[in-house]
């Protein structure tokens, strides 16, 4: 019997118009463009502004663009999985809001929380529904309005994050293209190093939690960096080894964009030269679940059928993992 794989058949990304540059941040906190660029690689990030605008608005834009490119009606979508740590509401799920906003009236959906690994976790989950033959069209979207949980007086976090979304469409492939292998990992004992202290059931919102700024991202950057460098590289090398891929075989590394130094360390361990690594952190910063699909969006025109891509990420949880996929289509002509 022919093996069915889940292949990405369309990709689209969205970032809001408003830009916050390193120089803008120099006016808010004690930092410098030079420090941010050399320590992280970031030059600017996009920020979603406007009353009532949330993560779902960016996710909806990404999915609408994707449907247009693939020439499908949103009503054809069976399932929307939204990876995010900045849902519109605690409930209902952002995926429910998104399906309504795009008119995907035949789809069901749910949110998936895995912080910066959210997109690859969701890709791994979404692919199962295609591989089993249960569904024909599954959308995986990574979207985060990080500016909604960032303290713009904390220089250790506000320089890193930005807002954005990216979405892919998964469809069945019987020619060996699409997702070949995934490795997903987590270690909840790392939760204290990167989290949002309040707003959940353990510590519901109160005057005190607001006064203590407990609804913002808390990160012990040094510790997270240490784990990220090791785990992202380990899992990327592991997925290469177990699929018999040499560094020559890998066409592209599509890394989570948290810090250029983490990306470089991962590429280095994989034996890849810079020209095989997607890096757009300078323009968007860390958009959490949005980084990897935004890379695919930006590089789509350079991707060819049969290219070997390794996607890898590390994030809060701790969560980390890697996906090996064979790109399934050539860039659109004209």
Q: Which stretch binds ligand UT7 (CB under 6 A): 15-23, 83-91, 152-160, 173-181?
A: 152-160
Q: Which is nearer to ligand UT7, 228 or 278 (by Cβ)?
A: 228
CA distance 228 to 220: 12
- How many Å apart are CA 114 and CA 148, to the nearest integer? 17
Our finding on whether 196 is near ligand UT7 (CB under 6 A) is no
Q: Is 154 in the site for ligand UT7 (CB under 6 A)?
A: no
Question: Stretches 32-40, 131-139, 143-151, 293-301: which one binds ligand UT7 (CB under 6 A)?
Answer: 32-40
The nearer residue to ligand UT7, 128 or 186, going by C-beta atoms, is 186
Indicate whether 217 belongs to the interface with ligand UT7 (CB under 6 A): no
What is the total count of residues that contact ligand UT7 (CB under 6 A)? Answer: 20
- Residues 296/168, Cβ–Cβ less than 8 Å: yes
The residue nearest ligand UT7 at its CB is 221
98-127 positions binding ligand UT7, by CB under 6 A: 116
Using rule CB under 6 A, residue 221 touches ligand UT7: yes
Q: How far apart are CA 132 and CA 2, in angstroms?
A: 12
Q: Of 218 and 324, which has the nearer Cβ to ligand UT7?
A: 218
Show which residues are catalytic: 116, 256, 286
With residue 64 as reference, give the H or E element that holds it: helix 55-70
Q: Which stretch binds ligand UT7 (CB under 6 A): 1-9, 35-43, 137-145, 200-208?
A: 35-43
Q: Shortest gap between Cβ of 245 and ligand UT7 (angstroms)?
A: 25
Tokens 């899992």 sit on residue: 235
CB of 198 to ligand UT7, least distance (A): 20
Give yes or no for residue 92 binding ligand UT7 (CB under 6 A). no
Of 86, 73, 137, the residue nearest 108 (C-alpha):
137
Q: Does 269 bind ligand UT7 (CB under 6 A)?
A: no
Question: In whole angstroms, what is the distance from residue 153 CA to residue 29 CA?
Answer: 6
Q: Is 286 in the site for ligand UT7 (CB under 6 A)?
A: yes
Strand partners, 143: 165
Task: Please tell me the distance from the alpha carbon of residue 42 to that of residue 257, in angstroms, as a whole number.
Answer: 10
Task: Assess 225 for contact with ligand UT7 (CB under 6 A).
Answer: yes
Residue with tokens 């985060």: 144
Rounded least distance, CB 268 to ligand UT7, Å = 16
Q: Is 31 in the site for ligand UT7 (CB under 6 A)?
A: yes
Q: What is the largest CA-CA distance in the chain?
A: 62
In this complex, which beta carbon is closest to ligand UT7, that of residue 42 or of residue 323?
42
d(CA 83, CA 189): 21
Q: With CB under 6 A as the contact rule, which of the stretches 202-210, 220-228, 295-303, 325-333 interacts with ligand UT7?
A: 220-228
Tally helices (H) and strands (E) across the chain.
Answer: 11, 13
Q: Is the dihedral of CA 234, 235, 236, 241 positive or negative?
A: positive
| Dihedral (CA of 66, 71, 73, 79) sign | negative
CB 316 within 8 A of CB 282: no
Residues lying near ligand UT7 in the complex (CB under 6 A) are found at: 31, 35, 39-40, 116, 155-156, 159-160, 221-222, 224-225, 228, 258-259, 262, 286, 314-315
């Amino acid at each position: 019997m022919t093996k069915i794989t889940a292949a990405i058949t369309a990709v689209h990304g969205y970032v809001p118009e408003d830009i916050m540059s390193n120089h803008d941040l120099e006016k808010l906190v004690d930092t410098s463009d030079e420090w941010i660029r050399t320590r992280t690689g970031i030059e600017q990030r996009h920020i979603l502004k406007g009353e009532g605008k949330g993560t779902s608005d960016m996710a909806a834009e990404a999915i609408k663009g994707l449907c247009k490119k693939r020439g499908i009606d949103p009503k054809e979508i069976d399932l929307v999985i939204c990876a995010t740590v900045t849902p519109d509401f605690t409930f209902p799920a952002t995926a429910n809001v998104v399906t309504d906003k795009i008119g995907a009236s035949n789809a069901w959906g749910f949110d998936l929380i895995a912080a910066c690994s959210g997109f690859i976790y969701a890709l791994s989950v979404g692919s199962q529904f295609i591989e089993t033959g249960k569904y024909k069209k599954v959308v995986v979207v990574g979207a985060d309005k990080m500016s909604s949980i960032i303290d713009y007086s904390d220089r250790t976090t506000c320089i890193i994050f930005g807002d954005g979304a990216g979405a892919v469409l998964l469809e069945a492939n019987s020619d060996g293209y699409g997702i070949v292998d995934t490795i997903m990992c987590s270690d909840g004992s790392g939760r204290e190093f990167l989290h949002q202290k309040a707003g959940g059931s353990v510590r519901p919102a109160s005057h005190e939690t607001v006064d203590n700024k407990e609804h913002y991202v808390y990160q012990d950057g040094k510790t997270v960096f240490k784990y990220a460098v090791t785990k992202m590289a380990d899992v990327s090398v592991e997925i290469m080894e177990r699929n018999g891929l040499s560094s020559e075989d890998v066409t592209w590394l599509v890394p989570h964009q948290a810090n250029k130094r983490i990306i470089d360390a991962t590429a280095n361990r994989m034996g890849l030269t810079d020209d095989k690594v997607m890096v757009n952190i300078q323009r968007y910063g860390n958009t959490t679940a949005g980084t990897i699909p935004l890379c695919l969006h930006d590089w789509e025109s350079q991707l060819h059928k049969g290219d070997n891509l390794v996607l890898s990420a590390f994030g809060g949880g701790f969560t980390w993992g890697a996906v090996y996929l064979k790109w399934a289509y050539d860039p659109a002509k004209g």
